[in-house]
Amino acid sequence: MSDTLDTAWALNWIRTAQEVISEHRMELIDLDREIGDGDHGENMYRGFTKTVEKLADGTDSIASALGTLGKTLLATVGGAAGPLYGTAFREAGKAVEGQETIDANGVVAIIQGALDGIVKRGKATTGEKTMVDAWTPALEAAKAAAAAGKSPAEAFKVAAEAAAAGAEETIPMLATKGRASYLGERSIGHKDPGATSTSYILAVAADTAEAAQ
Can you give the binding site for other proteins, defined by CB under 8 A?
Answer: 37, 39, 43, 74-80, 82-84, 86-87, 121-122, 177-179
Closest to 205 in 3D by CA, of 120, 83, 108: 108
Nearest to other proteins of 129, 157 (CB atom): 129
Q: How far is the CB of 184 from other proteins (least distance, A)?
A: 16
Length of the chain: 213
Q: At what angle do helices 40-54 and 81-95 cross, to 10 degrees?
A: 40
d(CA 125, CA 132): 6
Please identify, using beta-carbon distances, which residue of 43 and 112 lies nearer to other proteins: 43
Least distance CB 174 / other proteins (angstroms)? 17
- In the complex, what is the shortest distance from the CB of residue 70 to other proteins, in angstroms, rounded to a whole number? 10
Q: How far is the CB of 134 from other proteins (least distance, A)?
A: 18
Which of residues 121 and 157 has its CB atom nearest to other proteins in the complex? Answer: 121
- Residue number with CB closer to other proteins (82 or 137): 82
Minimum CB distance to other proteins smaller for 38 or for 127: 38
Nearest approach, Cβ of residue 79 and other proteins (Å) = 5
**How far is 185 from 189, CA to CA, in rounded Å?**
9
